[in-house]
Amino acid sequence: MLSPLGWLNAAAAVAVREIQRLLRTPQEIIVCGFLPIFWVLVVWLLLGNGIVTQVPTGIVDNDHSQLSRDVISKIDATRSVGLVPFASHSEADKALRNGTIYGFIEIPFGYSRDVTKGAGAPMVLYLDENRYAVAGTLQADLTSVATAISQERMIKTSMLTASGVKGAERLVTGLHSDFYALGNMQFSFLAFLGSNLVPGVIMLAAILSFVSSIVRENYQYRINDWFDTAKGSVTAALFGKLLPHFFFYSLLIASYIALFAGFGGFAPAGSLFIWFICGAACLAVMACTGVLIVGIAPNWRFALVVTSGYAAPALPFTGFSMPLDSMSEMARMFCKCLPLTWFIEGQTQQWTLGAKIWEMGTTFTAFAILAFIPLVIGIPIFKWKYGKFAKQEKILEAKHEL
């Protein structure tokens, strides 16, 4: 049994050994180091504009009146819409099916006549809802345009019926609402998607890095050398091995936060430090989960497959695309077992809501439970399993010497 100081010295020796081993395996540095950075930059560049602009949207004007042309000019002034004229419904529908436009608007025959009579003449909007984000943006913007046009006609009608300017103003402004988009006033897709995709990429790469570093000792037949460096302490061996990787991904989390809160201009309502602590806690859970996966997997190849299967599909279950409360009970239970879910929760509490640390008890309790359970179950299994591997290594070495 090592003393506390001896344990720290053993863990430090393993950490130094791990850095040296990493420098001898450049392919691991590329896969677990450079690739995550590359994909973070890809996501940033992909969503860099932040807003949906000039989306190809068809327009079919069946009325060809002054009113329909006025409506088209107002739609064309909308930031998200890039109008593409079509002569008929069939032409626009074909373009939509071919994927050259994201949707199209059709102004019906007799539109001007029906509006003048007050009979109502709806414009029809056709959207590819499979492209949900773009379709939602187009629908919201075009609804705003339609509302503005209706209010404009309401004002004109009110003034013609002797209500006067004041009467028209009371009619239009009698009901209004205030809207506050916390944390994302610009409705930026970079803030919406990037703040979920980037942590997902980092956490996936982190757990793959944790698991790869452990199983490397197995397929390179270096388990005894690893344990000898740790003075026979399994916990020191694991802690020292995972520490350099944890430090690297902590720097990535800090860089991610700086990228969004600093360079991106999305200032947090709460504490940057607590936001970072949430990221570090999520990394710690990933490391503990990695120990459990390596312990229960029958071989190192299967461990890497299980790791990918555990972390890769996590993003849709974090609640950013569909609220957890709208999911089934079983799906919600699964979501709450994923550390990325709790990181997104903690990020929201700090970035947009400005929660105090004592208001985040549920989040940090979840992190603690998700780290504690894999360690309690995983370390004894890992110690037994890798103890067997170490004995097999010694037998193979003895045969090789003979």
Written in H, E and C, the secondary structure of 290-348 is: HHHHHHHCCCHHHHHHHHHHHHHHHHHHCCCCCCHHHCCHHHHHHHCCCHHHHHHHHHH
Q: What angle do CA 135, 141, 145 make, to 5 degrees?
A: 140
Cα–Cα distance measured from residue 36 to residue 53, given in angstroms and rounded to the nearest whole number: 28
DSSP string over 116-127? HHTS----EEEE
**Residue numbers of the chain with a pLDDT score lower than 50:** 162, 174-176, 178-180
Tokens at residue 311, please? 């972390």
For 113-171, how does the pLDDT look when each residue is reduced to its tens digit (9 = 90+)? 777 776 666 778 887 766 666 766 777 777 777 776 666 666 555 555 545 555 555 55
Strands 124-127, 81-86: pairing is unpaired
* 226-244 exposure pattern, b = at least 16 Cβ within 10 A, e = fewer: bbebbbebbbbbbbbbbbb
Which of helix, strand or coil describes residue 106?
strand
Cα–Cα distance measured from residue 178 to residue 124, given in angstroms and rounded to the nearest whole number: 28
Bin 265: left if φ > 0, else alpha if -120 < ψ < 50, else beta.
Answer: left
Q: Which residue ranges form the domains of the chain, and what is each CATH number?
A: 4-48+188-401 (no CATH), 55-173 (3.40.1710.10)
Give pLDDT, residue 180.
Answer: 47
Please answer whether residues 375 and 291 qualify as being in contact, where contact means their C-beta atoms are separated by less than 8 angstroms: yes
Strands 103-107, 124-127: pairing is antiparallel
Nearest to 351 by CA among 248, 246, 264, 275: 275
Cα–Cα distance measured from residue 380 to residue 66, given in angstroms and rounded to the nearest whole number: 79
Residues 6+ apart with CB under 8 A from 327: 335
Cα–Cα distance measured from residue 41 to residue 118, given in angstroms and rounded to the nearest whole number: 53
Please answer whether residues 280 and 253 qualify as being in contact, where contact means their C-beta atoms are separated by less than 8 angstroms: yes
- 269, amino acid identity: A
